[in-house]
Amino acid sequence: MTSSSATSESKSTTTITTTTTTINEVPVKVIFLDVDGVLCLNEYATLEQPLLQNLSIAVENTGACVAVSSDWRLFPSKFQELCRALKLRNIRVIGKTAVSTKDNARPQEIFQFLTTFHARMKRQSKPFRITRWLAVDDRALNFEEGGEKMTSRKFVQTDPAKGLTFNVAMEIVNKLNRTSSSSSNSKVVERSLIGAASSGTTSCN
């Protein structure tokens, strides 16, 4: 091959550079929400507004979404009632946990939800990933099936006689935001939350 031919061939050759587009993950915080003993303390299965108000405070200050782990998810009318009440407060519900074949296996149901959610996001090429989550329940989930993984950073147990109090809301904020649980910090958080329920809540988009 002559020098001129090599030069001609070189000029006619096109170099194609392939670039790979990386989708940045969008972090999502989730509250796995029980209802009885958390938002409902009465025998009439009625949601209680002050407790919903406290949930709103927690959501507003963490940007968390809700996944329903309560037995209310098993009854379509009660599930829809809960969803409507949360929607009125701009709290987004991203789903509900599946029902385990075992009794007292709510932790397993939560972990299954996490696995299924991430698999679905990957399948749909969506960037959302649950990076922080917390179960709020009046049941002792740490003693149920799969509860050994339900560490104190992943679980807030309510008093079934008091439900989701303002102090519980602050604990949710501290744990989801990974802030200090010291007394002085709690006072700072408390001051920042005063009057928070009067403004709109934050939900996932």
Determine the structural domain holding residue 99 and report its residue range. Answer: 23-198
Identify whether 184 is part of a domain: yes
**What pLDDT shows up at residue 195?**
37
Identify whether 15 is part of a domain: no
Q: Which residues contact 188 (CB under 8 A, 6 or more apart)?
A: none
Could you read off the pLDDT of 123-169 as tens digits, one per residue?
999 999 999 999 999 999 999 999 999 999 999 999 999 999 999 99
Identify whether 137 is part of a domain: yes
Identify whether 2 is part of a domain: no
Q: Looking at the chain, how many residues does it have?
A: 205
- Tokens 């005063």: give the residue: 194
Predicted TM-score of the model (pTM): 0.78
Residue spans of the chain under pLDDT 70:
1-23, 179-205
**What pLDDT shows up at residue 205?**
35
Domain count, the chain: 1
Identify whether 10 is part of a domain: no
Identify whether 11 is part of a domain: no
Cα(127)–Cα(61) distance, rounded to whole angstroms? Answer: 23
Dihedral pair phi/psi, residue 26, rounded to 5°: -105, 110
